[in-house]
């Protein structure tokens, strides 16, 4: 079966080559062949450029994830610092009020 398939593909390729050969013989056909060739080259170039974007997209995704983690960490640290500052001022007031009581007595 593989041989039949190969023969079929070979026959299709040959038929395509014949069709392109005939196309160049008709008036304006050469322009069509040239345009098709140019289009194929442009598509190949575009495909290479798009493939080059994949690693960049991965890097951007990684950076976005890291930035999000840092932003979350910064928020919790800021909240923790604010609550720590409140507890420090409360502790200071308490210790200073005790000092005043003991010195006043």
In this predicted model, what pLDDT tens digit does every residue of 13-52 receive, in sequence order? Answer: 888 888 877 877 888 888 888 888 899 999 999 999 999 9
Residue position matching structure tokens 């005790």 = 98
75 assigned to some structural domain: yes
104 assigned to some structural domain: no
Task: Read off the pTM.
Answer: 0.41
Helix 29-104 with 2-25: angle, nearest 10 deg: 110
20 neighbors 33 (Cβ within 8 angstroms): yes
Q: Does residue 55 carry a pLDDT above 70? A: yes
The mean predicted confidence, pLDDT, of the chain is 77
Q: Does residue 97 carry a pLDDT above 70? A: no
CA–CA separation, 48 and 53 (whole Å): 9
Query: How many distinct structural domains can be found in the chain?
Result: 1
What residue numbers bound the domain in which 81 lies?
Answer: 2-99
Structure tokens at 22: 């005939």
CA–CA separation, 17 and 10 (whole Å): 11
């Amino acid at each position: 079966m593989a041989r039949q398939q190969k023969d079929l593909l070979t026959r299709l390729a040959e038929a395509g080559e014949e069709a392109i050969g005939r196309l160049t013989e008709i008036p304006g056909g050469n322009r069509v062949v040239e345009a098709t060739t140019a289009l194929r080259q442009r598509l190949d170039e575009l495909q290479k450029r798009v493939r080059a974007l994949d690693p960049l997209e991965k890097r951007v995704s990684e950076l976005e994830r890291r930035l999000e983690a840092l932003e979350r960490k910064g928020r919790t640290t800021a909240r923790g610092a604010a609550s720590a500052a409140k507890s420090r001022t409360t502790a200071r007031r308490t210790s200073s009020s005790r000092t005043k009581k003991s010195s006043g007595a």
